[in-house]
Structure 1
């Protein structure tokens, strides 16, 4: 897909969501995906947020998130298209990889 800021149609969206099993798709606000990450402690959760923030700023695509101690609740949607775009899918994949790396390093 050449333009990552285009709202995903139903069939491509279903295919992309199948690659994000930890994320929940909701139709509200034109379409969004949500996930709660759980880390070992606050420091690890904050480290995750800091790493994601650098990538989000670089790509000018910022998550909506909320942090309480070791939990980070995330909502992704592309406001410009009033729904989900590849920007959301790619950011979700990055968050999954980042969280997996942090969690595996803690063990």
Structure 2
């Protein structure tokens, strides 16, 4: 079920590195180098498969940009926050 803007904004209080715009939640992470960035992406990819939920993402050298929404709901759902939480846990381990 698609969440309304107020609910999304409240949930984002728990995710200070994420923003809501363009009907998705977005974050950007910087790593020491390409290898560390790619390593995090690989770990995130396995989590995405486990959750059967996949972000739009890109990387440029050591920067990883992630955008998450639920295409079938045409917006942000609880599933997106579940994935964001998993990503945060993976990024923390990488630090």
TM-score category of the 2 structures, normalised to the smaller one:
over 0.9
Across the aligned residues of Structure 1 and Structure 2, the Cα RMSD in angstroms comes to 1.1
Tell me the residue number matched to 2:65: 73
* Residues 38-77 of structure 1 aligned to structure 2 (within 5 Å): 38-77=30-69
Larger radius of gyration: 1
Question: Structure 1: which 5+ runs fail to align?
Answer: 1-5
Unaligned 5+ segments in structure 2 are none
TM-score (norm 1): 0.83
Give the match for residue 36 of structure 1. 28
Aligned to 1:17: 12
Match in the other structure for 1:3: none
Work out the CA distance in 2 between the residues paired with 1:58 and 1:100.
Answer: 19
